[in-house]
C-alpha cells in the first residue's frame, strides 16, 4: 500500500516598521525535510502562499527521490485564503480574466497575489504533481475536548471530512513546529540586509501564468 506524503505549512509575520517581513515554512513528516524562506516587504497571505509553494517543491523532490513509495500528496495549511483560493475559488476567478490575464474577485477588484496562485498551479501542472489541499485550524488546545470538537467541525466545514482525535493532535503538533520555526527565523532578520523593491500598483506589469483549464486534475 502506498504511503501518504504529508507536508505541513505555515507562515509568520514581523513588522520592522516601516517594512514587514514574512517567513514561510514547510515540513514533510515522512522524511523530516524542512524548508524556509524569508520574504521582505510581504504580507501574511503572501507568506502563506509561499509556504504552500515550498510544500509543492518538497513534494516533487521527494516523489522523484523515492519512486513508487508515495500515493497521495497532502498539504495542510491553516490559511483559508491559500487553500480555498487554489482549490475552490480559482475556477470562479479564471473566467473573469481580462485581455491582460488579470483575474477579478467577487468585489470586482483584481485578485490579490494572483501571480503566486498562478506560480503554484503552474508548478504542479508542469511537474504532473497531484496535490490534495486541506485547511485546518492552527494551534488547537488538544487537552480541551471543546477545542478538539471545534477543530473537527472546522475541518469538516473546510474539507468535507471528519477526523479522529489523534489526527487533530498530529495536525496541530506539526503546525506548531512550523509556526515556531518561522517565528524564530524572523528574530534573526536584519532589514538592512534586504534591498527594498520599488512598489507598483499596475497589475498589468505583474508576471502572468497561463493556467490550463484542466488544472483541477492537479489541485484537489
pLDDT in tens, 141-155: 767 778 888 888 899
> Cα–Cα–Cα angle for 156, 162, 166, nearest 5°?
125
**What pLDDT score was predicted for residue 3?**
95
Instruction: Please tell me the pTM assigned to this model.
Output: 0.93
Dihedral angle sign, alpha carbons of residues 30, 155, 103, 37: negative
* Digit-coded pLDDT (tens) for 18-52: 999 999 999 999 999 999 999 999 999 999 999 99
| Three cell numbers, residue 184 | 524564530
pLDDT lower than 70: segments of the chain = 142, 199-206
Do the beta carbons of residue 29 and residue 8 sit within 8 Å?
Answer: yes
| Residue among 171, 168, 174 nearest 146 (CA) | 168
**What pLDDT score was predicted for residue 85?**
97
Q: Map grid coordinates 487533530 to a residue.
A: 168
Dihedral angle sign, alpha carbons of residues 106, 108, 114, 120: positive
| C-alpha dihedral (216, 89, 53, 25), degrees to nearest 10 | -140
| C-alpha dihedral (190, 56, 27, 15), degrees to nearest 10 | 30
Q: Map grid coordinates 517543491 to a residue.
A: 57
**What pLDDT score was predicted for residue 206?**
65
Amino acid at each position: 500500500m502506498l504511503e501518504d506524503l504529508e507536508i505541513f505549512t505555515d507562515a509568520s509575520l514581523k513588522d520592522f516598521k516601516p517594512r514587514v517581513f514574512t517567513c514561510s515554512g514547510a515540513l514533510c513528516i515522512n522524511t523530516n525535510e524542512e524548508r524556509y524562506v524569508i520574504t521582505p516587504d510581504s504580507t501574511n497571505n503572501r507568506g502563506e502562499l509561499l509556504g504552500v509553494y515550498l510544500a509543492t517543491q518538497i513534494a516533487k523532490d521527494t516523489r522523484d527521490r523515492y519512486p513508487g513509495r508515495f500515493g497521495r500528496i497532502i498539504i495542510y495549511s491553516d490559511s483559508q485564503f491559500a487553500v480555498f483560493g487554489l482549490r475552490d475559488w480559482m475556477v470562479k476567478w479564471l473566467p473573469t480574466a481580462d485581455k491582460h490575464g488579470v483575474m477579478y474577485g467577487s468585489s470586482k477588484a483584481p485578485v490579490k497575489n494572483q501571480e503566486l496562485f498562478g506560480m503554484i498551479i503552474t508548478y504542479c501542472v508542469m511537474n504532473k504533481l497531484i496535490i490534495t489541499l486541506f485547511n485546518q485550524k492552527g494551534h488547537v488546545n488538544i487537552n480541551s475536548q471543546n477545542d478538539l470538537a471545534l477543530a473537527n467541525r472546522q475541518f469538516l466545514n473546510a474539507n468535507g471530512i471528519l477526523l479522529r482525535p489523534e489526527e487533530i493532535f498530529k495536525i496541530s503538533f506539526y503546525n506548531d513546529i512550523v509556526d515556531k520555526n518561522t517565528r524564530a527565523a524572523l528574530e534573526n532578520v536584519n532589514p538592512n540586509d534586504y534591498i527594498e523593491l520599488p512598489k507598483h500598483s499596475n497589475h498589468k506589469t505583474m508576471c502572468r501564468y497561463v493556467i490550463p483549464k484542466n488544472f483541477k486534475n492537479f489541485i484537489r
